[in-house]
Every structure is written in C-alpha cells, then in structure tokens.
Amino acid sequence: MFEPTEDLKILVLEDDTLDKMRIKTLLSKSSLSEFKVEYAERLENAFALLEKNPFHVILSDLNVPDSMGIETLIKINKKNPDIAIIAVTCEDDKKLGLTAIAVGAQDYLVKGKFDEYDLSKSIEHAIQRKQSEIRIKAQNNFLNNVLESLTYPFYVLDANNYQITMANSATSVIKAMKGMTCYMLSHKSDKPCEGPNCPCPLEEVKRTRKPVIVEHTHDDNNGNIKNYELHAYPLFDSTGKLVHIIEYSLDITRRKQAESDKERVETQLRQAQKMEAIGTLAGGIAHDFNNMLGAMIGYANLVLQDVPEDSVAYRNQQEVLIAANRARELVKQILTFGREGEESKKPLKISSITREAVRTFSSSLPENIELRENIEAKSSLIMANVIHIHQILMNLCTNASHAMSQKGGLLEVSLTDIDFESDTTIGNTQIKQGQYVKLKISDTGCGMSHEIMERIFEPFFTTKEVGKGTGMGLSVVHGIVKKCDASIVVQSEVGQGTAFSIFFPRIQTDNEKMPEQKSEGKYKGRILLVDDEEVMVDVTKQILERLEYKVTGKTSSVEALDLFKAESDKFDLVITDHRMPKMKGTKLAQELLSVKPDIPIILCTGFSEDIGKEEAINMGIKEYLMKPVTNQDLSEAIEKILSHQEVAA
C-alpha cells in the first residue's frame, strides 16, 4: 500500500471551474490522508507554484489557456522531471492516454469517468511509478559510471540479432553503436564468429544457457596476432527466454605468448630426454610384442579360472600374470617415449608407480648410497600420467644420487597423505586448502646455496660437469608438476642435503582393495573376432566364450569381410586387430560399415602412431583399445557397447 513519508502535496492544473470543483470534491472523499492541494488555471501559474514549493504529483488538464494537448505534458516533464504527472482529459481515447504516458505522464484519467477511489489509486500509482523511475535512473547512472570505469570493452547484445544495445567507452563504438553487431566490433566481419580460433560466445550461451568463456584469435590489420578472452553471460526474461547477452573482452595476447613460450620450452625439454633409438625401435616391435604379451595375459587368466586358488599352480600363474602386466606397462612407456604428443591424465594410484620406480632405480645405485622407502599413502589416487610420475621420480632420484656420489649417504623416498585445513605457505610456495598426497625425495648430499636454488628450474641450468647433465631434468619436473595442478617445495642447505616435496591433489581415497570387476554376462551377443595371429584369436575366443558370447574367429581380414557380407545379420559386434596383412583393421572397419552402418566395431592396436583414438572414433569405430588388452578392459568395452544395442538371442 502507498504510504507517503510526508504530507502529500498535490497540484491541480485546470481552468474549467466545474472540473476543478469535481476534483476538489473527489479528493475530499478519497482515501488519501494528510494531503495539501493547490490549484492553477494556467501553465505559467503552475510553474510559479512549482518553483516555490515541491509537489509530489500534478493533475494536469491537457488543454489550458497557455498550452494545448500533449505539449503541456512535455513542458511539465522537461521543467520538473521529478514530479509525478497524471493527465486529465475529456477525450476517452486510449491511444491518447498511451501517448500521454509515453511523453512522461505516469497515468491518465478521463473526465467524468472516475470517482474518488479511482482518483486516489491513480495518485498512489503515479507517485510510486515516478519514485521507481527516479530510482532506476539513479541506478542506471551508477551502472554507467561503473561501466565507464572499466578499461576493457564491456557491452550488451541482443540475443536475437547480435546487435550491441549498450557499451562502455572502451569498446570505441559509443557514437556508432546503433545497429553495430558484435562480430563487426570484434574483427570487422560481416558474419558471426565461427571456427576453432573464433568460437561465437553468443551461440555457446544459446546452446548451454550458461555463462561461457571463449578465446579468440584476431589479426589487428597490422599483421599482428591478438588473443582475446571473451566472457559471456545470459539474461533471461520472466518466461525464461534468452533476450540479452552481457559480454566483456580481455586482451590476453601477452599472457598467451608467455604460456606458449613456456609450453614450447617444456615440450622441447621433455622431447630432448626421450631416446630416439627407442622411438625408432618402438614402431617395429610394438605389434608382435603386444600380441605375445596379450597371449600370455589371456592364457594366464584362463588358467587362473581353471585351477584351485590354494594350489602352487595358481600362485605361480599369478606371478606370470604380474610379470606380463609389468612388461605391458613397460611397452606403454617405450611407446610413449617414442612418439611426441601430450599424454592424457587419468586417476591413478601413485603408490604402486612409486614402488615400481624405486625398485627400478635401486639396481643402479652405488654401494655407498642407502635407499629407504616409506610408502604410507597406499590407496590414494591422483590425477596424473604414469610416464610423467616416472619422469619425476627418476629425475629427482638421479639428482639425489649425483649429490651423494662422492661421500655416499641416504636417499629416502616417502609417500604420505596430508590435509591442509586452510591455505598454507611452505617456503615461498603457497598451497591451497585441501587434501593432498605428498611425495618427498630427500638426500644427505652436498646441498645447494640459495642462489642456486632460485635457478634450478630454469631450462639448461646445471651445476654438473660438461657431459654429465643437460640442466633439463628439473625443468621437466617443474612442468609436469604444474600440469598435475600440484605444488613443489624445495628445501636445501649447503652440506646438509636436499629435499623435494611435491603435493598432488588427492581425488579419492580407497581404504579397501577394489575387487576386480567381472562381467556377469548381462549383455550377450554374437561377435566376429579378427586377428592375423592365430594364438590371439584362440585365447581371445576362449575368454569371450567363457563370458557367454558366441564368437566366430578369423585370421584373415579378407575372409572376415567376405563372411560378414554374406551373413551380416548374424553378428552384433566386430573386434578387429589393426595391423594385418592385405587389409588393415581401419580399412576392414570402413568396409564393414559400408555393409552395415550400425555395426559396432572395437579396434585393437599395439602402436597408435598409425591411427589415434580420435581418428578412429571419427571413422565410426565405437571403441579403441591399446594392446595388450586385459580381460577386464575387453569385457567392459563389449558390455558398454552392447548395453545400448538390441542383441539377438
């Protein structure tokens, strides 16, 4: 309900005596309390009264002796923009009333068609609306001042046509803004942004209905490449319809250049450590080696299912399987060293990798260095890459060994869980609140001065003799730590040894051993298995038949294609090797899909340089598995595919 904070002051501009008396009578009968009213017959008299005393509202006839029609309202609003105006007219014309409101009135009344109730409500409404307009105007002024204080472009777009409806001066389009589109503003184009270098933020907001951040790469017309970070936020109306997009643009050219330079140096450093001989050899041996390992792992798993768990044969076979899996991981490492590219991160248990690396490194230590291992965080998971963790451990342990090469000493590798309840600073490194796995590698060697410590992560900086170090190891470590969103702390004193502590964000803690997930055979089907190695067909067929799949095996891709062409309806899934004579797995997949476009295909390969996972998926292949494939990986891949297929009995 309308409640004035002071006595309501009303000014009536009316030259007709009867109309004036009627308004006076209605006011006296109205629900308004504590109000004062004054009357004027001419516009100039009204202005004189307005100059002497402030009024809350003016009831104005449109036609008075010194002013006619809508012009009367325009003059009042221009001279007294803070007063509420009610137009009083003898013409019952809705269009006229709307025009009156459009030029500044808050309401309008038709003479002879309103009573005291209508009058009081109109006055309350007019004053409330004017007060709201004043507040909105003040807010808009404040908003404009805020926007103008920003040094980067900030603008509002019409979600329907890309046009700028509001912008600050930093956009440089204030005067020429009307009708200008965002893509004309950003890079003087005649069509919306598109492509990987200029994704359209407006279209992304339309698609997601959420705030988005995209990066643009533009040519500034002087031959210089500029990078921008565009932030876009949706504005919806009361019905949920997207009507406007708020955008602002940040010039991140220098930041991107710095990141690019740093990334390029780190990539070059990592690549410099990879052995070219292993890279050359990897492609040649990968296929045959992985087939042999696949057969070993497959047959070992089959034997484990057939012999009693308390037998010597079962225990021996487990050791065979452990050795085969270690060899499998070694092949993965060799392949990773042999090809350039960014390795993916995944959840991994760092304790097993640490033990493996320590075991590998211990055999190369001189007798005067003692190695101690303290693994407490046995089940903690981090998001990282196996090869990267190996690189960290081998680089830091190698440096520690060199630091103790003359006098010997103690090399200690520990792994513990640690939680920080608040942001913590250790040395010069700030670590955010959270749960971490702390990997610490310490030695009792010669230590470092503070001057050297400030430079140890610089590329090519080394204190070793010529020919005994490249100065790249710690740079690589530092780059990997950052990619894992981890923090590294170095503590050292001359003659007192050195300790490197790396804090990896902990993503999960499993205190119990996770049982191996075995297929329950929920989704069964008929499988065409293709591999040029007969032993691989035999072992894989046995594994799949034990999982209750019906399997047809072929050692020739050409024969497999002929069979599929003749009996395509008899197969729910195809599993094929990639490297095969006469017809590779990818070619076979293309031929199979041309016969039956919806046939799901699993491609197995021991060397991913020929074809990557993304390329395979784009071809229509459903799953891409690196050899040697474990029973569980294969089972899970099949179930994942067939769970979405209609499988025949």
pLDDT given at position 260: 74
Name the token pair of 292.
Answer: 């042999």
Instruction: Please indicate, yes or no, if residue 307 is contained in any of the structural domains.
Output: no
Range(s) of the domain holding residue 75: 8-144
Q: From 251, 277, 301, give the residue that closes a domain.
A: 251
628 cis-preceded (ω within 30 degrees of 0)? yes
* Same-domain check for residues 176 and 213: yes
With a cut of 50, say whether residue 523 has pLDDT above it: no
| pLDDT of 284 higher than 70 | no
Is residue 539 within 8 A of residue 302, CB to CB? The reply is yes
Among residues 251, 273, 307, the one where a domain terminates is 251
Q: Are 62 and 70 in contact (CB under 8 A)?
A: yes
Question: What's the mean per-residue pLDDT of the chain?
Answer: 82
Rounded average pLDDT over 63-73? 91
pLDDT digits (tens, 9 = 90+) for 111-167: 989 999 999 999 999 999 998 888 888 888 887 787 777 777 888 888 888 888 888
Give the model's pLDDT for residue 59: 94
Q: Is residue 293 part of a domain?
A: no
C-alpha closest to that of 330 among 290, 299, 362: 290
Is the pLDDT reported for residue 609 higher than 90? no
pLDDT at residue 428 tops 80: no
Do 474 and 361 share a structural domain? Answer: yes
Three-class DSSP labels, 233-284: EEEECCCCCEEEEEEEEEECHHHHHHHHHHHHHHHHHHHHHCCHHHHHHHHH
Q: What is the CATH number of the domain that holds 556?
A: 3.40.50.2300
Of the CA atoms within 13 Å of residue 576, those in its CB half-sphere come to 29
Going 444 to 446 to 450 to 451, the CA torsion angle's sign is negative
pLDDT, average across residues 499-505: 94
Please state, in angstroms and rounded to a whole number, the distance separating the CA atoms of residues 308 and 316: 12
Does residue 272 form part of some domain?
no
AA letter at 490: V
The answer as to whether 329 is a domain residue is no
Instruction: Tell me the pLDDT band of 272, cut-offs 50, 70 and 90.
Output: very low
In this structure, are residues 597 and 574 in contact, taking their beta carbons and an 8 Å threshold? no
Q: Are 411 and 478 found together in one domain?
A: yes
Q: Is residue 321 part of a domain?
A: no
- Say yes or no: 137 and 159 in one domain: no
pLDDT at 514: 41
Q: Based on the domain organization, do 442 and 571 belong to the same domain? A: no
What's the total number of domains in the chain? 4
Looking at 125, 144, 163, the residue that finishes a domain is: 144
Q: What is the mean pLDDT of residues 17-45?
A: 90
CB 41 within 8 A of CB 15: yes
Tell whether the model's pLDDT for residue 510 goes beyond 50: no
Residue 239 to residue 370: CA distance in whole angstroms: 72
629 shares its domain with 531: yes
pLDDT of residue 40: 93
Query: Is there a domain that residue 463 lies in?
Result: yes
User: How confident is the model over 186-206, as a mean pLDDT?
Assistant: 82
Shared domain for 597 and 533, answered yes or no, is yes
Q: What is the pLDDT of residues 535-571, one digit of tens each?
A: 888 888 988 988 889 999 999 999 999 999 999 889 9
User: pLDDT per residue over 311-345, tens digit each?
Assistant: 888 888 888 888 777 776 666 655 544 444 445 67
Q: How confident is the model at residue 216 (pLDDT cuts 50, 70, 90)?
A: confident
Question: Residue 511 pLDDT > 70, yes or no?
Answer: no
What's the CATH number where 212 sits? Answer: 3.30.450.20
138 and 160 share one domain: no
Residues 608/335, Cβ–Cβ less than 8 Å: yes
* 135 and 160 inside one domain: no
Q: Please report whether residue 287 resides in a domain.
A: no
3-class SS string, 325-349:
HHHHHHHHHHHHHHCCCCCCCEEEE
Q: Which helix (H) or strand (E) holds 373?
A: strand 369-375
Q: How many angstroms separate the CA atoms of 500 and 415, rounded? A: 12
| Same domain? 405 vs 495 | yes
Q: Identify whether residues 634 and 495 lie together within a single domain.
A: no
**What is the secondary structure of 48-67 as a DSSP string?**
HHHHHS--SEEEEES-BTTB
Residues 236 and 372 in one domain: no
Q: From residue 182, give the alpha-carbon distance in Å to each of 164, 245, 249, 464, 577.
A: 6, 11, 11, 56, 50
Q: Is residue 310 part of a domain?
A: no
Residue 330: predicted pLDDT: 60
Q: What pLDDT was estimated at residue 517? A: 37
